[in-house]
Amino acid sequence: MWVGPKVYSVFMISLFFSSAIMFFIGLIGLTVNYSLIIEWELWGLNSSLFSVSLVFDWMSILFLGSVCLISSCIMKYSEYYMEGEINFLRFVYIMLMFVVSMWFLIISPNMVSLLLGWDGLGLTSYALVIFYQSEFSCNAGMLTVLSNRIGDVAILLSVALMFGSGSWDFYFADLDYNNMLIFFVVVAGATKSAQMPFSAWLPAAMAAPTPVSALVHSSTLVTAGVYLLIRFSGPIYDSGLGVIVLSVSVLTMVVAGFSAMLESDMKKLVALSTLSQLGVMMMILSTGMKELAFFHLVTHAMFKSTLFMCTGFMIHNVGGTQDSRAVSGFGVSSPTLGILLSSTNLALCGFPFLAGFYSKDMILEYMFMTSNNLFVVAMVILGTGLTVGYSFRMLYLSGSNVNVVNVVSGSQDVSWLVLTSMACLFMASLVSGFVMYWVGLPSLSVSYLGGAQKLFIVVASLLGGVLSYSYMQNINMKFGGLKLVETLVSMMWFMPSLSVNSPYLCLLSGQIGFKVVDNGWFEYYGGQGGRGCLLGVSELLQVSQKSVMVKGYMVSAMISGACLFMFY
């Protein structure tokens, strides 16, 4: 059934052990603060040097380790989820190309060579989204690739602007006072990480197979934009664009949280939670704390990929449907899945001593400590509460048997294949935050708030739990005035409609301009009108020159003199 099982297994094992080695080297590099940059020249033109650069510092190596670990576990999981798939070999090849593109993006400090990995991610992600080749997946893939092309154009423009900075390496280029370049980099990062107003493509990309969502749309592709902005965090903060990034990220976090509270598609619910956590990363990144953003990036990748894998198991056991109203009873029928799902959801909420607790607690403490206005603080508290809300809602829908269509009571427990593929990521969801907090990033092992101020985070989480419980029990949701708000939030504030219809609006305006301007005014007063005028003058000259009378020559002379007078 599988093509080349030995090669496939060897590659998975190689990725797994490579991730362990990279984590070890990355922690050592973080301790000694050592970086290695390899650069070779391709060709030079006067003072411009075209080169390919590779950077190996603690950040790139730790991120490479996390990508290798998640890729190896998801490839093992694909044996279960893609069992019986005819085009499994094609699926494996595309996944491998995606992982290689991600490697190249992580270790490239040069904007020209980074563009290869950036475009490779866009191309392979499009191929993975349309893998099932249905109308729904093709539409989702087109929305994904067109949204990401905006970021590709922004990267191209930033490459052009970096030509005047002395280098295409963001380590050596002089980026001070180059606000236009930094703006294009921010736009590129916002499109790849699905920030507002480019948020519609991430929920739509859930048309891809679940292993693709676990790898591409939780821990690699969407975090590539955050990783790019981490590399440019200093110039972004110095240029004053941090306020814009903060506003957009907080808005993304809240909008995604509200939409997740009303989403019925199980995979889209997890995707919206990813979108909310991307807003958290961008939010702390806007304040210049790139280490905290990277810390949350790595820990989030661990438990979110596990959460997607649990969702895929539930989808398989209910006949392939993704409707959360058809999912229930897993807390009794599959106790192992209940433990995995509840633990990863608690890590997402920031439950004490799990992976998400260490990063989210420091992020929220730092945001409450900084001199932000009251609106930003209120939005941060609301986004934190919504995180707890939609996490508990997912547990409620999957574990209970209330307000659902079918009750899965005869489902089998998690198979050994699924359990072995999820074991490493599940353990990382438990201990990765502790290891990075106390061993990896000792400089961040501080508390920004003390005493009663720490209760702000607990109160925000409890408010989110109350909101979730109130919604699931249909309390305060029966008024007609709130029905419009519920519809608006469930449609994600019309972002999908705007993203889909905006190309049609551009095409319509182009069609009107072509008919009215090009084929209308320009033709009537331009090409065709000028042609008719010249034909009339030419006929008049021909008639005058046919006459042998003196008056014919006089007319020709008068016309020629009039033309010379008009032009000179």
Confidence (pTM): 0.79
pLDDT digits (tens, 9 = 90+) for 447-492: 666 666 677 777 777 776 776 666 655 544 444 445 555 555 556 6
Which residues are within 8 A (CB) of 289 and not within 5 positions of it... i.e. 6 or more apart?
363, 366
Using the predicted structure, report yes or no on whether residue 59 has a pLDDT greater than 80.
yes
- The most confident of 45-54, 223-232, 334-343, 434-443, by mean pLDDT: 223-232
Residue 182 confidence (pLDDT) above 80: yes
Q: Mean pLDDT of all residues in the chain?
A: 76
pLDDT at residue 315 in the model: 81
pLDDT band (50, 70, 90) for residue 407: very low
Highest-confidence segment of 5-19, 190-204, 553-567: 190-204
d(C-alpha 67, C-alpha 63), whole Å: 6
Q: Is the peptide bond before 197 cis (omega within 30 degrees of 0)?
A: yes
pLDDT of residue 443: 59
| pLDDT tens-digit readout, 82-103 | 877 788 888 888 888 888 888 8
Tell me the percentage of the chain whose pLDDT exceeds 90.
Answer: 0
With a cut of 50, say whether residue 2 has pLDDT above it: no
The 3-state DSSP class for residue 43 equals strand
Choose between 176 and 354: higher pLDDT: 354
pLDDT in tens, 389-402: 888 888 877 766 65
C-alpha–C-alpha distance, residues 395 and 325, integer Å? 12
Task: Give the pLDDT of residue 552.
Answer: 59
Higher pLDDT, 546 or 86: 86
Question: What pLDDT score was predicted for residue 448?
Answer: 61
pLDDT confidence bin for 442, thresholds 50/70/90: low
Residue 64: pLDDT band with limits 50, 70, 90: confident
Measured CA to CA, the distance from residue 16 to residue 329 in angstroms comes to: 34
The confidence score (pLDDT) of residue 403 equals 46
What residues have CB less than 8 Å from 435, skipping those under 6 apart?
none
Site of tokens 């992600």: 125
Distance, in Å, from the CA atom of 207 to the CA atom of 199, rounded to the nearest integer, reads: 15
pLDDT of residue 479: 43
User: Does residue 331 have a pLDDT over 80?
Assistant: no
What would the pLDDT profile of 212-262 be if each residue is shown by its tens digit? 888 887 778 888 888 888 888 777 776 777 788 888 888 888 888 888 877
**Is 157 a residue whose pLDDT tops 80?**
yes
- The average pLDDT across 427-453 equals 70
Q: What would the mean pLDDT of 352-371 be, rounded to a whole number?
A: 80
Beta bridge partners of 50: 43
The pLDDT of residue 472: 59
* 47 backbone dihedrals φ, ψ, rounded to 5°: -90, 0
Contacts of 511 (CB under 8 A, 6+ apart): none
Q: Which residues contact 5 (CB under 8 A, 6 or more apart)?
A: none
Segment 529-551 shows an average pLDDT of: 66
pLDDT in the model for residue 352? 81
More confidently predicted of 329 and 107: 107
Q: What is residue 502's predicted lDDT score, i.e. its pLDDT?
A: 60
- Residue 112 pLDDT > 70: yes
**Please, which pLDDT band fits residue 173 given cuts at 50, 70 and 90?**
low
Is residue 67 pLDDT above 70, yes or no?
A: yes
CA–CA gap between residue 227 and residue 281 (Å, rounded):
10
Distance (Å, whole) CA 197 – CA 501: 14
Cβ-Cβ contacts under 8 Å for 453 (sequence gap 6 or more)? 368
Whether the predicted pLDDT of 33 surpasses 60: yes
Short-list 196, 147, 162, 151, CA closest to 48: 162
Is 75's pLDDT higher than 80?
yes
Return the pLDDT at 491.
61
Distance CA 153, CA 173 (A): 20
pLDDT: which is higher, 321 or 404: 321
Length of the chain: 568
What's the CA gap between 438 and 109, in Å, rounded? 28
User: Using CA atoms, how far apart are residues 267 and 112, in angstroms rounded to an integer?
Assistant: 35
Query: Model confidence over 369-386: pLDDT tens digits?
Result: 777 778 888 888 888 888
Taking the C-alpha atoms of residue 364 and residue 533, their distance in angstroms, rounded to an integer, is 74
The separation between CA 449 and the C-alpha centre of its own chain, rounded to angstroms, equals 31
Higher pLDDT, residue 480 or 32 = 32
Asked whether the predicted pLDDT for residue 1 surpasses 80, the reply is: no
Ranges 250-254, 329-333, 420-424, 500-504: which has the least confidence: 500-504
Instruction: Return the domain boundaries, the chain.
Output: 142-490, 506-567
Highest-scoring range by mean pLDDT, 26-30, 73-77, 350-354, 522-526:
73-77
Residue 565: per-residue pLDDT: 63
